[in-house]
Chain A
Amino acid sequence: RINSDGKPAKFQPPPKPVIIDKQKQREERRFLSPEFIPPRGRTDPLKFYIERKDMIQRRKVFNIPEFYVGSVLAVTIADPYANDKVNRFVGICIQRGGKGLGATFVLRNVIEDQGVEICYELYNPRIQAIEVLKLEKRLDDHLMYLRDALPEYSTFDMNMKPVSRLDHEEIPVNKLQVRMKPKPWSKRWERPKYNIKGIKFELPETKMKAAQKWSQPWLEFDMLREYDTSKIEEKIWKEVSEELKK
């Protein structure tokens, strides 16, 4: 090649390719299952350490996937009274409770117009498989209000196919506002103590203002209720991830 000047062109190296390291992006997101975080109390930390060892043992043999309240799961457990000796249930996780080995999650589904909620223990040895069909978060910590919502929001097909998602994507937050059945509800969800963001309240303004009478604005400034788990979480995450890699 000859330049416009007439001299031979200087060698230009090709531009460096931009490498998006997907592994690094994946590692940046850490998920520690909430039952690993010890509750605030006067128990000896040795008890939590021993419980954690057992939990890690179980996780090495059986995979407990990452899921949040609002994701759709399918659970198969061994049932001595079923025809095939296994029982499969699909539902939306409405609550994750308990700490340590007794951690539970409640799945809700509407089968033939009957709402069904089943509470499973994460570390129960009878559980054969837990599959996450749809991994997503919702605006609230628990979805108990689905009991008073229209049944379409709790129905999920028993033979639903898992929704594919890429590994390094962030967990989508479903900002769905749920429509409710007419009052009375099992709990007064409009009251500020429940702090529900996922309901489309179609109540008159007067009722919503009257509900604010039960608000306790001093609660968020109460220092004795603070429980900062960030440092504990980091330590436990390191411990758990190192053990699981072995």
Chain B
Amino acid sequence: MMPIWTKSGKKHAVTLLKVQDCHVLRYISKEESGGKTSKLLVGGKNASPFSKSESAMEIFKEAGVPRKQKVTTFNVTDDAIIKPGTPLYAAHFRPGQFVDVTAKTIGKGFQGVMKRWGFKGQPASHGQTKTHRRPGAISTNKAAKVYRGKKMPGKMGNIYRTSFGLKVWRINTKHDIIYVNGSVPGHTNCLVKVKDSKLATYKDCNKNPPFPTFFADGDEKLPEDLYDEEIFQFTDPSVTYA
């Protein structure tokens, strides 16, 4: 995470996400998948092909791509279908867009009720016998049972969570890095899924995005760094309030 300053002098914290060898693996049509839209399987970071069975490696062989560590599905409309095997780059996103980021949260292991659910526990002194971090009562007398979904101790973390509506501040096309506002679930160097935001306020925010994606062998030559309009670039002189 890094600080970023706007032209008005405000500081924002920014997370760097690297797009590491992303390829489209397979196209699944609407009828095949049974959903409302067709799907595209996309694979992330390259990994060793020797620890998976032959049947699992079939998808990668068909697409002509080395084995990927993570495979996710994206629901796409019919006009955004991409041929399997095309690489995806960070330039697919542009500064000023809003993005949802999904990842597995940091695993905390088996945790008690105070850390996991934020219960208040009991006082440290004044006669409490062996009860300082316990949940206390778990149900009422009349219910005569414990409801399903009762908050109790258990394994915490290591589940998929999403941060919604994160602004993209800057894109580095040379190293394929996306600068995303705020924090993102997961530990450093974990695999992350970045989608266009589903929030209603940002529905009309994407002005002319590269559609269906940014093709590296196309005619467009992008500069190494793409900045949002409000970012203070370090090549400018210091900010003054006239």
Q: Mark B171-191, 1 if CB is under 8 A from A, else 0.
A: 010010100000000001100
B235 / chain A contacts, CB cutoff of 8 Å: 57, 61
Give the residue name and chain of the B residue nearest to A82 (CB).
B241
Is A126 a contact of B188 with CB atoms below 8 Å? no
- Which stretch from B2-10, B27-35, B68-76, B128-136 is at the chain A interface? B2-10
Is B238 a contact of A121 with CB atoms below 8 Å? no
| B159 CB within 8 Å of chain A | no
B232 / chain A contacts, CB cutoff of 8 Å: 125
| A127 CB within 8 Å of chain B | yes
Main secondary structure of the interface of B (DSSP, over half): loop
| Cα-based distance from A75 to B89 in the complex (angstroms) | 42
| B237 CB within 8 Å of chain A | yes
CB contact under 8 A between A62 and B18, given known A42-B188, A43-B189, A46-B175: no
| Cα-based distance from A125 to B4 in the complex (angstroms) | 10
| A79 CB within 8 Å of chain B | yes
Q: Mark A134-145, 1 if CB is under 8 A from B, else 0.
A: 000000000000
| Cα-based distance from A41 to B232 in the complex (angstroms) | 29
Chain A nearest Cβ from B71, distance in angstroms:
22
Is A61 a contact of B236 with CB atoms below 8 Å? yes
| B200 CB within 8 Å of chain A | no
A124 / chain B contacts, CB cutoff of 8 Å: 5, 9, 11
Is B241 a contact of A50 with CB atoms below 8 Å? no
Q: Mark A38-69, 1 if CB is under 8 A from B, else 0.
A: 00011110110011001001100110000000
Is B234 a contact of A85 with CB atoms below 8 Å? no
Give the residue name and chain of the B residue nearest to A56 (CB).
B234
Is A127 a contact of B3 with CB atoms below 8 Å? no
| Cα-based distance from A50 to B189 in the complex (angstroms) | 16
| A102 CB within 8 Å of chain B | yes
Is B3 a contact of A102 with CB atoms below 8 Å? yes
CB contact under 8 A between A78 and B239, given known A58-B234, A61-B234: yes
CB contact under 8 A between A78 and B241, given known A57-B235, A58-B234, A124-B11: yes
Looking at the complex, which one of B2, B18, B240 makes contact with A101 (CB distance below 8 Å)?
Answer: B2
Looking at the complex, which one of A57, A78, A128 makes contact with B234 (CB distance below 8 Å)?
Answer: A57
Q: Which of B1-42 contact A (CB under 8 A)?
A: 2-3, 5, 9, 11, 16, 18
Is A127 a contact of B238 with CB atoms below 8 Å? yes
Q: Mark B214-242, 1 if CB is under 8 A from A, else 0.
A: 00000000000000000010111111111
A62 / chain B contacts, CB cutoff of 8 Å: 237-238
| Cα-based distance from A102 to B2 in the complex (angstroms) | 7
Looking at the complex, which one of B9, B16, B234 makes contact with A47 (CB distance below 8 Å)?
Answer: B16
| Cα-based distance from A79 to B238 in the complex (angstroms) | 12
| A172 CB within 8 Å of chain B | no
Looking at the complex, which one of A79, A125, A128 makes contact with B5 (CB distance below 8 Å)?
Answer: A125
What are 29 A-B residue pairs whose CB atoms fall within 8 Å in the complex?
A41-B188, A42-B189, A43-B188, A43-B189, A44-B18, A44-B188, A46-B18, A47-B16, A50-B16, A57-B234, A57-B235, A58-B234, A78-B239, A78-B241, A80-B9, A80-B241, A85-B240, A100-B2, A101-B2, A101-B3, A121-B3, A123-B3, A124-B5, A125-B5, A125-B9, A125-B234, A125-B238, A126-B238, A126-B239
A residues contacting B by CB (< 8 A) are 41-44, 46-47, 50-51, 54, 57-58, 61-62, 78-80, 85, 100-102, 121, 123-128
**12 further contact pairs, Cβ within 8 A, besides A44-B189, A125-B232:** A43-B188, A46-B175, A50-B16, A50-B175, A54-B234, A62-B238, A123-B234, A125-B9, A125-B234, A125-B239, A126-B5, A126-B9
Q: Which 10 A-B pairs have the closest CB atoms?
A: A57-B234, A80-B241, A58-B234, A125-B239, A126-B9, A125-B232, A85-B241, A78-B240, A102-B3, A125-B5
